[in-house]
């Protein structure tokens, strides 16, 4: 199938897919800064408005495990256009929403499209490019996937403050229509479809399992770990997920093929992926909390602080992709994690006097580190797999990332809350004349520092694991052997 697609057609195919991925990723993070404004507009509580984010993540997380089946059953063209169509319908609903329920419905429809597109894109790369060229291509994709959330907070803050929240969706609609039109004209299929049978029982098990785990951890930050809802949903989720995993291991045609974990490189990169995602999501939650609650900065100012680092991250992604093809995964992982450790160390002793510029430079260092890891991590893991397991590896990568993001956010909010409360008690005890406002700000600052210590520990653990990843030579030999077997089978 690869030989039938020319280099020119590959570039056109990639351009269309990356454009769709950019819009999908941009949409995913566009509402984060707008939450407080939407609370006032629709007269809803923080717990209710949070469903715009939690609901999106739940639909995404639930849908990802079945993408491997969808990629077998439907063509590249059908899946991509469908995902863009869901994004279009959801955006129209959100833009015209007169009450919160319509806004949430539109958001959940958008999430259906987003859940399909990233695993689809990763699998297409496995089909189109040999292992020694995937790093560079993944780097270009990384630019789109990182640049979108990089500009989202600032763009969202500007639109909400100076235009109208509806333009967060109205502005998206024409671009989605252009991508759909391009897909109809230029998109071709990269693999044959088969009439695969859907394992309905596995779908139900994965939906309840992953859905409950994501919901439980997402709710822990606001409801607390002693909440019966949080504890019961996490326990139910773990039980159903365990049953789902056991069913996949016994099945001849599993919905999600867990045999990918037999490949050492894939397993190691998945563990590092979990730790790095925990750190990344936790930082995106923790830094705005420190800036807004501890220092009194606006949401727009918090978004602006994150922008330079994220832009550097995006522009470095194609460079690190080429470096991956040349030097392999191990040196990139080690370099990236050293940058991450330095960035975490730099915020373990936050103060009232910590400057805005210092935090911006520190965030740039973190993002340089992430650029050495994010896409090379995906590439190294998927390169370790035979092509027939590529869609399953991609689906598992995204499932792991969703779970790690939810768990990371919940754990860091819990650490921050516990430590902030503890510091507040100490401050009241030691300073009789201190005001409630001062206590609240100082407790928030000290709590943030303590949470960053936990993230520093995770960074060191990830660095230790990265030393066990094989060097490029071994990885290349494995890839060549598999490619040779595929060629022989084809002939």
- Measured CA to CA, the distance from residue 113 to residue 87 in angstroms comes to 6
pLDDT tens for 356-404 read: 899 999 999 999 998 898 888 888 888 888 877 877 887 788 778 777 8
The pLDDT value given to residue 412: 82
Fold type of domain 1-194: Growth Hormone; Chain: A; (1.20.1250)
Read off the pLDDT band of 3 (50, 70, 90). very low
Q: Can you list the alpha helix ranges (DSSP code H) found in 96-130?
A: 100-128
For 436, list phi and psi in degrees, rounded to 5. -60, -40
- Measured CA to CA, the distance from residue 288 to residue 459 in angstroms comes to 20
The pLDDT value given to residue 152: 80
- Measured CA to CA, the distance from residue 450 to residue 441 in angstroms comes to 15
Q: What is the mean pLDDT of residues 257-272?
A: 88
**Residue 6, Cα to own-chain centre: how many angstroms?**
31
- Measured CA to CA, the distance from residue 135 to residue 328 in angstroms comes to 9
- Measured CA to CA, the distance from residue 43 to residue 40 in angstroms comes to 5
Structure tokens at 408: 């990371």
Structure tokens at 357: 């510029």
Q: What is the mean pLDDT of residues 152-175?
A: 86
pLDDT tens for 82-112 read: 999 999 999 999 999 999 999 999 999 998 8
The pLDDT value given to residue 457: 94
Q: What is the mean pLDDT of residues 474-478?
A: 43
**Domain residue ranges in the chain:** 1-194, 199-254, 257-491
Please report the DSSP string for 289-353 in residue order. HIIIIIT---HHHHHHHHHHHHHHHHHHHHHHHHHHHHH-HHHHHHHHHHHHHHHHHTTTT--TT
- Pair 397, 122: CB distance under 8 Å: yes
Whether pLDDT at 447 is above 80: yes
Q: Do domains 1-194 and 257-491 have the same CATH topology?
A: yes
In this prediction, what percent of the chain has a pLDDT beyond 70?
91
Q: What is the mean pLDDT of residues 18-30?
A: 84
Greatest Cα pair distance in the chain? 83
Contacts of 137 (CB under 8 A, 6+ apart): 14, 125, 128, 129, 321
Fold type of domain 257-491: Growth Hormone; Chain: A; (1.20.1250)
- 148 burial type by CB count under 10 A (0-12 exposed, 13-18 middle, 19+ buried): buried
Q: What is the mean pLDDT of residues 418-434?
A: 80
The pLDDT value given to residue 479: 45
The model's pTM is 0.77
The pLDDT value given to residue 357: 92
The pLDDT value given to residue 191: 66
- Measured CA to CA, the distance from residue 486 to residue 131 in angstroms comes to 13
- Cα distances from 454 to residues 393, 406, 409, in angstroms, run 29, 16, 13
Q: What is the mean pLDDT of residues 23-37?
A: 79
What is the C-alpha radius of gyration for the chain, rounded to an integer number of angstroms?
22
Q: What is the mean pLDDT of residues 50-77?
A: 78
Q: Estimate the crossing angle of helix 436-466 against helix 329-345, to 10 degrees.
A: 160
Structure tokens at 433: 């004349």
Structure tokens at 222: 């606001």
pLDDT tens for 38-48 read: 888 888 876 67
């Amino acid at each position: 199938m690869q030989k039938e697609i020319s280099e020119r057609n590959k570039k056109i195919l990639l351009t269309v897919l990356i454009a769709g991925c950019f819009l999908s990723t941009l949409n995913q993070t566009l509402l984060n800064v707008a939450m407080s404004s939407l609370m006032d507009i629709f007269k809803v509580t923080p717990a209710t408005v949070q469903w715009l984010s939690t609901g999106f993540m739940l639909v995404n997380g639930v849908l990802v495990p079945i993408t491997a089946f969808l990629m077998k059953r439907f063509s590249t063209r059908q899946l991509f256009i469908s995902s863009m169509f869901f994004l279009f319908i959801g955006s129209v609903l959100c833009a015209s929403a007169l009450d919160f329920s319509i806004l949430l419905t539109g958001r959940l429809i958008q999430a259906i499209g987003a859940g399909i597109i990233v695993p689809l894109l990763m699998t297409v790369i496995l089909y189109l490019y040999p292992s020694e060229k995937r790093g560079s291509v993944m780097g270009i994709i990384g630019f789109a996937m990182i640049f979108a959330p990089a500009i989202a907070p600032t763009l969202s803050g500007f639109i909400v403050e100076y235009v109208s929240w509806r333009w967060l969706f109205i502005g998206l609609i024409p671009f989605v229509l252009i991508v759909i039109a391009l897909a109809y004209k230029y998109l071709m299929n990269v693999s044959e479809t088969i009439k695969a049978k859907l394992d309905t029982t596995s779908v139900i098990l994965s939906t309840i399992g992953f859905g409950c785990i994501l919901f439980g951890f997402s709710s822990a930050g606001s409801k607390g770990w002693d909440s019966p809802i949080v504890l019961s949903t996490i326990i139910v989720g773990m039980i159903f997920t365990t049953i789902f995993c056991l069913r996949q291991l016994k099945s001849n045609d599993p919905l999600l093929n867990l045999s990918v974990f037999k490949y050492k490189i894939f397993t190691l990169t998945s563990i590092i992926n979990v730790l790095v995602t925990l750190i990344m999501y936790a930082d995106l939650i923790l830094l705005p909390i420190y800036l807004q609650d501890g220092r009194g900065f606006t949401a727009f100012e918090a978004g602006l602080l994150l922008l330079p680092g994220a832009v550097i991250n995006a522009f470095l992604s194609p460079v690190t992709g080429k470096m991956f093809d040349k030097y392999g995964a191990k040196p990139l992982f080690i370099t990236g994690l050293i940058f991450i450790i330095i960035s975490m160390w730099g915020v373990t002793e936050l103060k009232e006097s910590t400057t805005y510029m210092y935090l911006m430079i520190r965030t740039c260092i973190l993002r340089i580190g992430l650029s050495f890891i994010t896409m090379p991590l995906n590439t190294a893991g998927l390169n370790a797999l035979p092509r027939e397991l590529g869609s399953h590896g991609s689906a598992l990568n995204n499932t792991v990332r969703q779970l790690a993001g939810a768990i990371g956010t919940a754990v860091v909010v819990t650490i921050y809350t516990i430590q902030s409360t503890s510091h507040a008690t100490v401050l009241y005890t030691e300073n009789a004349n201190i005001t409630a406002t001062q206590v609240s700000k100082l407790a928030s600052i000290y709590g943030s520092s303590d949470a960053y210590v936990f993230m520093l520990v995770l960074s060191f653990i990830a660095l230790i694991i990265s030393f066990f990843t094989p060097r490029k030579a071994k990885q290349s030999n494995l890839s060549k052997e598999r490619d040779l077997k595929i060629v022989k089978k084809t002939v």
